[in-house]
């Protein structure tokens, strides 16, 4: 799917390990405050290849949906994931995402999140998507609000990010509810 500005949203593919290693290495310092602590081997092609295989097994099992953002040259410049897909009475998933510094601030991630939510509703059949941001991650909160998410509360010491248990704001989007400008 074309997100504009020469950026495509596409499913994660088996051969994406090397490009993901390059993308994570390029964005290492930028992502460090927002992610769990990453070991040195996380940034290697071998480790990314293994993580891609693990993600694709989870996708095949219906437990997740995994996407990358790529530029016109095929360079990966971001990720969007739906994890922890739950069926039964819940029909929900958790959303995670990041974007390359060079691609940020242009509305690309908002469009990507909207597109993934449309797929979650129309193709996966989910009712709800939840996301969590660090309390001080205003840029991510802006993306979620612009993509139709509503803040639903504060989760104290919710995730271990950058080596510390940190508070997060929780957001949700009920996928059947219309959102201005969103599929």
pLDDT, residue 181, reads 56
Q: What confidence score (pLDDT) does residue 182 get?
A: 54
CA distance 170 to 153: 5
Burial of 165 (0-12, 13-18, 19+ CB in 10 A): exposed
Strand partners, 95: 82
- 183 sits in which H/E element: none
* Alpha carbon separation from 177 to 10, 118, 122, 125, 129 (Å, rounded): 25, 11, 13, 14, 12
CB 141 within 8 A of CB 154: no
- The single-letter DSSP state of residue 67 is E
The per-residue pLDDT for 26 is: 96
Give the predicted TM-score (pTM) of the model. Answer: 0.94
pLDDT tens string, the chain, 183 residues long: the values are 999 889 999 999 999 999 999 999 999 999 999 999 999 999 999 999 999 999 999 999 999 999 999 999 999 999 999 999 999 999 999 999 999 988 888 899 999 999 999 999 999 999 999 999 999 999 999 999 999 999 999 999 999 999 999 999 999 999 999 887 555
Q: Which of 94, 158, 97 is nearest to 130 (CA)?
A: 94
Q: Structurally, what CATH architecture does the domain formed by 2-126 represent?
A: 3-Layer(aba) Sandwich (3.40)
Give the pLDDT score at 179.
80
């Amino acid at each position: 799917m074309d997100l504009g500005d020469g950026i495509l949203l596409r499913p994660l593919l088996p051969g994406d390990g090397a490009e993901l290693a390059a993308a994570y290495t390029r964005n290492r310092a930028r992502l460090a405050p927002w992610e769990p602590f990453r070991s040195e081997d996380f940034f290697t092609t071998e480790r990314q290849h293994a993580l891609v295989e693990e993600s694709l097994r989870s996708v095949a099992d219906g437990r997740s949906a995994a996407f990358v953002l790529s530029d016109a040259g095929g360079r990966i410049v971001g990720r969007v994931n739906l994890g922890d897909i739950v069926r039964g009475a819940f029909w929900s998933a958790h959303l995670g995402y990041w974007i390359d510094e060079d691609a940020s601030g242009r509305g690309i991630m908002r469009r990507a999140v909207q597109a993934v939510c449309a797929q979650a509703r129309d193709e996966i059949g989910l009712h709800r998507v939840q996301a969590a941001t660090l309390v001080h991650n205003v840029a991510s909160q802006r993306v979620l609000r612009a993509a139709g998410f509503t803040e639903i509360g504060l989760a104290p010491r919710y995730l271990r990010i950058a080596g510390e248990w940190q508070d997060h704001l929780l957001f949700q989007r009920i996928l059947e509810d219309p959102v201005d400008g969103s599929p």
